[in-house]
Amino acid sequence: MASLITSIASGLWYHTVTAFLFTKSDIKTTLIPISILATVSAPACSLSSIPHAVFWIWLHLLQFDVSNQTLDPEEDKNNKKDRPLPSGRITFRNAIILRWLLVPTCFALSLYYSLQVFWASVALVFFTVLYDECGGHAGHWAVRNFINACGFASFEYGSTLIARCDRTSLDGAGIVSVMCSFGIFFTTIQAQDFKDTEGDRLIGRQTLPIVVPFIARYTVIAGLLSWSAALTLIWEVDVMTSLSFHALALLVGVRFMTLKSVPQDQVSFYLYNVWLSAAHALPGYWRSYAAV
């Protein structure tokens, strides 16, 4: 009996680590910023709702990442060897099975919360298929940015609903926060593409840094500073917080313009996600201070 329990525990741990490795690279870029937005954009009914929202985000992120990483497993063998497919933790066939089993799993979990959360899940799966299986990831940069932004908005809409007492609708602040986030992703998500330019060029992707490399770096600083100004007005941020937020945007933007090696672009993208998390936290500032 003891050996059976040990074997089951070992198997569960193995598969848990495998699932984590599928999503590992997107924890800082997706899970953390969207969890922050969901937590602060909704007047949470209790702290117990936050783990529900975070798990919902992670499960849908797993669905997206398994889909994305089964598109071209050979691509990850060179620069992302710790992922489950190139490391041999899971076979390609089993990954495909997992990819499509996750879809009804996401739907069922979402329907448990509300019909509105279910539709957010449907939208997220739709944009995943459009981005991955239908080739949106390799299309024109504007189409790629648009699909990315729609996918992130679906993440945010569903998770913010879960964080609320009323899981059937968002209030005005919640709607504005999701709309602003959509705009941020649509205009600045190319920040993630600079570090991957060489690999993207080899497989024919038309990202903004490939199509117009010089202009692309200016779009990041312009987008960050513009959104910093807009968000501080929308969420009625005080002067010192606004200056700090703008300083962070300027730091990230200047780094993208002046430091252009792959390792430097990776660090700049990490800092971009710090700015993004701060941007997603501003609705919480408004709820805590300006709206009092």
Digit-coded pLDDT (tens) for 267-289: 999 999 999 999 999 998 888 87
Q: Average pLDDT in the 120-128 region?
A: 96
Residue 267 lies in a domain: yes
Residue 5 lies in a domain: no
Residue 272's φ and ψ, nearest 5 degrees, are -60, -40
pTM assigned to the model = 0.90
Residue 42's φ and ψ, nearest 5 degrees, are -115, 135
Question: Which of 46-55, 173-182, 248-257 is predicted with the least confidence, judged by mean pLDDT?
Answer: 46-55
Is 118:56 a contact under the CB 8 Å cutoff? no
Question: Which of 12-16, 73-77, 254-258 is predicted with the least confidence, judged by mean pLDDT?
Answer: 73-77
Could you read off the pLDDT of 137-195 as tens digits, one per residue? Answer: 777 888 989 999 999 999 999 999 999 888 998 988 899 999 999 999 999 999 998 98
pLDDT bracket for residue 4 (50, 70, 90)? low
Q: Where are the alpha helices (DSSP H) in the chain?
A: 2-23, 32-41, 49-69, 73-79, 84-87, 92-113, 115-131, 141-163, 172-188, 197-202, 208-211, 213-234, 239-258, 262-285
Residue 81 lies in a domain: yes
Is 271:252 a contact under the CB 8 Å cutoff? yes
Residue 30 lies in a domain: yes
**Structural domain range at position 120:** 15-290
Residue 3 lies in a domain: no
Question: Which of 2-6, 121-125, 177-181, 261-265 is predicted with the least confidence, judged by mean pLDDT?
Answer: 2-6
Residue 9 lies in a domain: no
Residue 146 lies in a domain: yes
User: Would you tell me how many other CB atoms lie within 10 Å of the CB of residue 14?
Assistant: 12
Nearest to 64 by CA among 27, 115, 13, 119: 27
How many domains is the chain partitioned into structurally? 1
Dist CA 119 CA 60 (whole Å)? 13
**pLDDT at residue 292 greater than cutoff 70:** no
Residue 248 lies in a domain: yes
> How buried is 65 (Cβ within 10 angstroms: 0-12 exposed, 13-18 middle, 19+ buried)?
buried
CA atoms within 13 A on the CB side of 140: 3
